[in-house]
Amino acid sequence: MCGIVGAVAQRDVAPILVEGLKRLEYRGYDSAGLAVIDRQGVMGCLRRIGKVRELEDALGEKPVQGGTGIAHTRWATHGEPSERNAHPHTSDDISVVHNGIIENHEELREQLQDLGYIFASDTDTEVIAHLVHHERKTSTTLLEALQKTVVQLTGAYGTVVIDRREPDHMVVARSGSPLVIGYGIGEHYVASDQLALLPVTRRFQYLEEGDVAEITCGKVEVYDRNGALVQHEIIDSDLDHEAGDKGSYRHYMLKEIFEQPEAIANTLEGRLTEAHVAVESFGHNAREIFSKVEAIQLIACGTSYNAGMVARNWFEDMGIPCRVEIASEFRYRKAFVAENSLFVTISQSGETADTLASLRLAKDEQGFIHTLSICNVPGSSMVRESDMAFMTRAGAEIGVASTKAFTTQLVSLLMLVVAIGRCKNRLSESDEATIVAELRELPGVIRDVLQQKEAITELSEDFADKHHSLFLGRGTMYPIAMEGALKLKEISYIHAEAYAAGELKHGPLALIDSDMPVVVVAPNNELLEKLKSNMEEVRARGGQLYVFSDPRAMLVAGEGIKVITLTEVSDLLAPIVYTVPLQLLSYDVALIKGTDVDQPRNLAKSVTVE
Ligand code: AGP
């Protein structure tokens, strides 16, 4: 949720920290701050409510400089967004930034108050600062003080600590919230996401759960939860340095919508042979595992859950039982686990707290035969903790509203369905060849759909003064209606609900009037006639329909109905293709409404707290 950057160098690190924060701002953006120590041991700290540019402006007026520093961009959990609740939090010489939630913070706060500590904020984080300060009194090193501190914490943390009296290093700890160490030449860095550090390095070491580390200009020492010195693999990032830039686009979201043809081509790259999906792209032993799989359990949140809903249809069409569940529900109930079930998490970030907790539960306590992560971030917790991982390769997605991550998840899931279907002989060789050929066409089809931008912009004007809307679909298009509604509410703040169109007359029809736009995803498929009846039910009650369809569906614009006609596509690809105009519609509506498209209120990109 929040973003962390830290650096130790021979030069002034403030510019590295600010650039890193800008790149992480999509993760949380209600306040930002930094603390920097110079060679004389003077610590400068600056915090501002609002976006990183407020902090940058403040730095312009009141520069702070130094070779060791930490910085943070916040998404409030404990304590309202305010300057006093912004990170870093300090306790005398100690300064701390933290991502995650300290669940026992109230108890610790009381203990620390009894010891005479005075709290300056309402945050859970401040207990870390005071605890480190307290433990430092009886520890020989700052690292030891942090080690003594973390064993007292319950909850999740990725935290970085500096001490004014020891300006040459920083210490860090990770449990439940990711941290990655960046390797430079004669300088080192830490961040909650490698994206923050791409301008200064491409070499990274991810910390594991329970790790603590000490970082100086010359060395990095990582210790596991038992205190043993460990060295995890140092990877070279293949993320594009420009990944964090908007280019000529007005918003990241628009850029990411238009990147979908290329992102999908990357997802497919090297994973399709002439007429097959390369099963081994899911892992060297995937063929053996997939042959044994008898059922699938998909777990995800938000947009990723919607992708899972589409995939359920695909799996079950092939006769492979599939359940899909929201992670925050799954983890707190006794779910039935069918024999030989494959557990699949779907996540853009690979760090979503509920999805990650479900994965851990599946591994530790439930009888799944294997775990697979469909994910966009290499090195993320889910990727590292799953038996198998399949990267969606969408590239960095900065806009909080997920766009290219969703369509590449669908493409990845479709490849998974095909791979399992073939391994289990549920899919003929010729059907596989047809799907593979269609997948190859997909980037071009999406390019065609993107040409409809202008027509969709015109439609969007009708939505700008509305407060509510309905999205309808049937079959695999119902989850696409869900995704369309999620996008619209997320960035335009218009209340949007999705219904399986057949449900309309069981309640929501009562809402229909001329102020309730009804968006329908209506490709020509075997459910079209049923859907047309549902549309008539809306029209007969004075509702206004906005229909996305294709020429074969023969839907004509007229009184109470506007139609956007898309390229004809197969039933299988339709969910992926029909997502795109709904993304554009939400974007255009948000633009007219003047909302913060890339960083909508109250939200954050990566939800690493429950
Ligand atoms: C989508 O636009 C969202 N911002 C959100 O629903 C997101 O998909 C969800 O939080 C899950 O994130 P993940 O894919 O990173 O796990």
3-state secondary structure at position 223? strand
pLDDT in tens, 232-266: 999 998 776 666 678 889 999 999 999 999 999 99
Q: How far apart are CA 98 and CA 124, in angstroms?
A: 9
Q: How far apart are CA 325 and CA 331, in angstroms?
A: 10
Establish whether residue 163 lines the binding site of ligand 1, counting it when its CB lies within 6 angstroms of any ligand atom: no
Confidence grade of residue 269 (pLDDT, cut at 50, 70, 90): very high
- Own/partner contacts of 534-542, CB < 8 Å, gap of 24 or more, are 534/472, 534/474, 534/501, 534/502, 534/504, 535/472, 535/561, 537/504, 537/505, 537/509, 538/504, 538/509, 538/512, 541/509, 541/512, 541/513, 542/512, 542/513, 542/514
Would you call the peptide bond into 523 cis, given omega within 30 degrees of 0 as the criterion? no
CA 457 to chain centre: 27
pLDDT above 80: residue 324: yes
pLDDT of residue 321: 97
Q: Which residues contact 533 (CB under 8 A, 6 or more apart)?
A: none
pLDDT of residue 255: 96
CA within 13 Å, CB half, 201? 24
Q: How many Å is the maximal CA-CA distance in the chain?
A: 79
Confidence grade of residue 457 (pLDDT, cut at 50, 70, 90): very high
Q: How far apart are CA 47 and CA 101, in angstroms?
A: 20
Q: How far apart are CA 471 and CA 469, in angstroms?
A: 7
Which residue minimizes the CA distance to atom 9 of ligand 1?
302
* Residue matched to tokens 């006769």: 319
pLDDT of residue 96: 98
Number of residues that this document lists for the chain:
610
Which residue minimizes the CA distance to atom 6 of ligand 1?
302
22, 255, 489, 605: the active-site residue: 605
Q: How many CB atoms lie within 10 A of CB 587?
A: 27
Q: Which residues contact 563 (CB under 8 A, 6 or more apart)?
A: 547, 548, 549, 555, 556, 557
Q: Considering only CA atoms, which of 419, 466, 164 is closest in space to residue 314?
A: 419
Calculate what percentage of the chain has a pLDDT beyond 70: 99
- Mean pLDDT over 112-135 rounds to 97
pLDDT in tens, 325-370: 999 999 999 889 899 999 999 999 999 999 999 999 999 888 898 9
pLDDT of residue 155: 87
Mean pLDDT estimate for the chain? 93
pLDDT above 80: residue 275: yes
Distance 366 CA to ligand 1 centre (A): 25
Establish whether residue 352 lines the binding site of ligand 1, counting it when its CB lies within 6 angstroms of any ligand atom: yes
CA 482 to chain centre: 18
Distance 349 CA to ligand 1 centre (A): 8
Is residue 605 part of the annotated active site? The answer reads: yes
Which residue minimizes the CA distance to atom 5 of ligand 1?
302
Q: How far apart are CA 64 and CA 66, in angstroms?
A: 7
Greater model confidence, 29 or 184: 184
Greater model confidence, 80 or 213: 213
* Residue matched to tokens 């998974």: 416
Query: Which two tokens mark 452?
Result: 């409809």
Q: Which atom number of ligand 1 is nearest to the Cα of residue 403?
A: 2
Phi then psi for residue 69, to 5 deg, are -160, 160
Q: How far apart are CA 97 and CA 606, in angstroms?
A: 17
Is residue 487 part of the annotated active site? The answer reads: no
Q: How far apart are CA 16 and CA 5, in angstroms?
A: 9
Q: How far apart are CA 304 and CA 301, in angstroms?
A: 6
pLDDT above 90: residue 371: yes
